[in-house]
Structure 1
């Protein structure tokens, strides 16, 4: 299998911050997100945060006589014909779900060709969404994966839980280059199987990963979808899709640590790189679609406000689709 090469970032050594320092960094990050992102979202979402946690599954709660304000799509025609009086179906929506963040923080998420790495955009998105959810009474939890499943945060509510989550993400730092722990690809299937085993109740699950992994994660993801409402938050960097003309540069495989020099001045090499990247993109999107998950693509040059608004729009479409499907059932 061809390795997935990417440019080495200087200064990629492990972060040696002490726990107190990482806790202070988490507080600073959350405060900045609250002022620069959450406050902007308050106006853009106009208080409609319910769609962030509404499941598509609707359970039949009751039948009652049709009233003028009712949606005609909810009329139960069998009951109407039997009773000779229009009746509508009343549904109970899934609202009591906890939100879980299944976090891939393996070495490849430290890559970024611009000012931010995939890890930073992951922290920002998770921090904003967790804060939005906890502000409205929801509970959030997390599974943190580096070279293996390294931490589990049970679902809790409140701002302290968001701080704990960001603190744990900041503490998860890759080992030094070339160590034994970094050899081999991410085992995303192992993380997804662990997630399924640790979530006994129906939940909202965000799988936040760049999906650079050993094969075989599609089936565990599909199993997770059977029980939970799952969103794949796919992290990527524009340089992973197309290489500019940079001349002779050292590239490092972000998962295995292998290094090589390539001549990006060679137009043929850049075309082959773009073709392989496009093929991988197509396979990944097809695999996520087969698993039945909603997918939010999150680039290192994305604006977090735009990303959360896109997610909210995606959830609204899902809710409308669920209602239409229930009405036609």
Structure 2
């Protein structure tokens, strides 16, 4: 009977993710304009257009200099040859590498809302991946957590994205809440991203909100010098505030903890820890001048993203 109840819980929606579910998300890409199209410019990428570096832009043509052109783009060789000022024109590189760093660890195997954090992170990775393919970008990434690292190199290929999603599902299916978390997993994933990504790439960070450590923050800062970042930390409302639910008992790895949530001081201290984590992510995003989009297990993914995209620039983060 107990085994039957456990199996029922395992099959409940929002606890595990399936490959079919992640594939079906491709039908919702049109609901969320994550990337620009010829007819619509996404507010998400407005930040990146002014920060393209290295091979993120390609030379297009040379034309006669016009008032208002940036003098730094003057082609001096053509100017000397024709005795008339000419300037270089550039266009954005069409195929941009999109690299998804997705955490699937015991930290995310929890949720009090619609989905577990691990499921929400997988859904977001899938949506961004399908949107990138629709935009003719190259998609790859790395699934990390619980001592595992599975990497797929960025390619403009549906098969490449499906391989990444399949790895994501396989790791997700093995989460059981009893594995020990590797404290270095996030930092190792970020170091790997620094090794494989070239300037002009976009790294999408999908991790537990609590994963940000001093070492990881340093790695993100180094990564942000060369590539663009989209920060999407995942959280559950219970990560930020405790309800007055009486005496709560916790057990893990043989250790036990009792917490009296009727104590207002305990609830306040817990809430302050949650607020400090939020503030730390915001300071990091402000310092690196990147977009921060925290994802809440309490709400449906597409609805959250649409709200971010419809917000004014000063409130989008």
- Is the TM-score greater than 0.5? yes
Q: Secondary structure at the match of 2:242?
A: coil
Matched, 1:30 2:20: no
Distance 2:230 2:96 in 1: 14
Distance 1:45 1:204 in 2: 14
Distance 1:259 1:287 in 2: 34
Q: Secondary structure at the match of 1:269?
A: helix
Distance 1:52 1:127 in 2: 17
Distance 1:291 1:196 in 2: 16
TM-score by length of 2: 0.73
Q: Secondary structure at the match of 1:102?
A: strand
TM-score by length of 1: 0.71
Q: What residue is the counterpart of 1:293 in the other structure?
A: 290
Q: Does the aligned pair in 2 maintain the 1:245–1:264 contact within 8 Å? A: yes
Distance 2:138 2:158 in 1: 10
Distance 1:301 1:172 in 2: 23
User: Could you tell me which of 40, 49, 58 is aligned with 2:31?
Assistant: 40
Aligned-residue Cα RMSD (Å) equals 4.1
Q: Please, which runs of 5 or more residues in structure 1 have no aligned partner?
A: 1-9, 17-21, 319-329
Q: Secondary structure at the match of 1:96?
A: coil
Q: Secondary structure at the match of 2:234?
A: strand
Instruction: Please state how far the C-alpha of 1:193 moved relative to its aligned partner.
Output: 0.6
Q: What residue is the counterpart of 1:282 in the other structure?
A: 279
Q: Does the aligned pair in 2 maintain the 1:74–1:89 contact within 8 Å? A: no
Q: What residue is the counterpart of 1:146 in the other structure?
A: 145
How many aligned residue pairs are there?
289
Instruction: Please state how far the C-alpha of 1:152 moved relative to its aligned partner.
Output: 0.6
Distance 1:261 1:312, change over 3 A: same
Distance 2:72 2:130 in 1: 43
Distance 1:246 1:129 in 2: 37
Distance 2:19 2:205 in 1: 21
Distance 1:57 1:151, change over 3 A: same
Matched, 1:305 2:302: yes
Distance 1:78 1:259 in 2: 65
Distance 1:238 1:133, change over 3 A: same
- CA deviation digits over 1:214-246, x for unaligned, max 9? 531122111111221111111111121111121
Q: Please, which runs of 5 or more residues in structure 2 have no aligned partner?
A: none
Q: What residue is the counterpart of 2:52 in the other structure?
A: 57
Distance 1:49 1:123 in 2: 26
Q: What residue is the counterpart of 1:120 in the other structure?
A: 119
Distance 1:138 1:236, change over 3 A: same
Q: Does the aligned pair in 2 maintain the 1:183–1:257 contact within 8 Å? A: no
Greater relative contact order structure (CA < 8 Å, 6+ sep): 1
Distance 1:222 1:305, change over 3 A: same
- CA deviation digits over 1:130-173, x for unaligned, max 9? 11111232221011101234211112234333332222111114
